[in-house]
Amino acid sequence: MIGLSGNLLFISFVLYLIGTFIFAGAIRQTKNMSHEKSAEKWSNVGIVITIVGLLTHLGYFILRWIAAGHAPVSNLFEFITFFGMMLVAAFVVIYFIYKNAVLGLFTLPIALLIIAYASMFPSEVAPLVPSLKSYWLHIHVTTAAAGEAVLAISFAAGVIYLIKSVDQSKNSKQAKWLEVVMYSLITVVGFIVITTSFNLAGYESEFSYIDKEGKNAYDSYQLPAVFGPHEGTLLTEGSFEPIVYVPDWVNARKLNTFVWSLVSGVILYLLTRLILRKRVGAALKPLTKNAKLDVLDEIGYRSVLIGFPIFTLGALIFAMIWAQLAWSRLWGWDPKEVWALITWLFYAAFLHLRLSRGWHGQKSAWLAVIGFAIIMFNLIVVNLVIAGLHSYAGA
């Protein structure tokens, strides 16, 4: 059953990829006003294929739940694939409201990157640790992921808005920061490429080390170890010797993965710039030609308006209830809890600035981009680098 669920996930990935190309075809048709009906047909085919992909993705989720005996959101692979599914689901709902093909062209690739990123982590079904054996696993984690997914739609709309509205022929701060966003997305691709390359090469190195509780432990690296574990000893002959050994509060293997991602992202970004001979954002600008800025601004705002209360329920209220049941306290300043609170405060500020200060247009788009960066920091850096009570989620 696990094998079948994995096949369904792969099929959904392929369907999302096909949907991306079809939405691109719809945008190409809209460049010629005489092809409006043809563009609408392309868009209709694109959303149908996306929905089929979403149903296939849901089939993966249900089969894995049956096989595991619990909601498949207990580790990074499961959580990120669920997050990707909810992102596509949020896009489908919003598409039927606004019928915006450009949003599909940018949202589906983000979902593809998220799913591909998830595939880099161990996908085996493992028994739940004691603190996760609760029905609150289903309630808290799935609701938090759903809220983040809806908020991510505002990021996609914000990026499209900025690509279209920022004058990238000038060397302005906005143009530079927009290019930083493009680099960040390319970094995910770089991580996938570098991890897949070393996996195909069969690279692996074993370490013994002293964990934060002072006990002997072992860890396995699939990428050359630039950062080694606390008081670590390399057990694999011929493997790369770490340059730095980190403190016990840092997960060395995951920090190592994170740094490799940044480096590979730089290399891939420079290659992309060399091929395009222009900024990545400038190369994407023609795709946004027919996008309406006021519609994109409204999509970004409404996504936050809907996603914020869902995130509040899942990431804060339900989380505190579960924390009280699991650890006998509502709040403990664990890194994951702190960054969930930071995320919540940021989007609360987003709505305040939007409603009371009139931050529309580019200001609102930049806030949406920053908000998604905070979500990704919580998902990637906090999970991969900082050890805490939620570290099991990064297994």
pTM of the model: 0.86
Percent of the chain with pLDDT over 70: 93
Per-residue model confidence (pLDDT) at position 32: 59
Q: What is the pLDDT of residue 130?
A: 65
The pLDDT assigned to 385 comes to 61
**What pLDDT score does 363 carry?**
94
pLDDT in tens, 19-40: 999 998 888 876 655 556 777 8
**Which pLDDT does position 189 carry in this prediction?**
85
Which sequence spans correspond to the domains of the chain? 2-168+279-394, 169-278
SS (H, E, C) the chain: CHHHHHHHHHHHHHHHHHHHHHHHHHHHHHCCHHHHHHHHHHHHHHHHHHHHHHHHHHHHHHHHHHHHCCCCCCCHHHHHHHHHHHHHHHHHHHHHHHCCHHHHHHHHHHHHHHHHHHCCCCCCCCCCCHHHCCCHHHHHHHHHHHHHHHHHHHHHHHHHHHHHHCCCCCCCHHHHHHHHHHHHHHHHHHHHHHHHHHHHHCCCEEEEEECCCCCEEEEEECCCCCEECCCCEECCCCCCCCCEECCCCECHHHHHHHHHHHHHHHHHHHHHHHHHCCCHHHHHHHHHCCCCHHHHHHHHHHHHHHHHHHHHHHHHHHHHHHHHHHHCCCCCCCHHHHHHHHHHHHHHHHHHHHHHCCCCHHHHHHHHHHHHHHHHHHHHHHHHCECCCCHHHHC
Rounded mean pLDDT for each run of 10 residues along the chain, 395 residues in total: 81 95 85 66 93 96 87 86 94 92 92 88 74 75 92 95 90 91 88 84 88 83 88 84 85 82 89 92 89 93 95 89 76 79 94 90 94 88 60 44
- Contact of 24 with 45, CB cutoff 8 Å: no
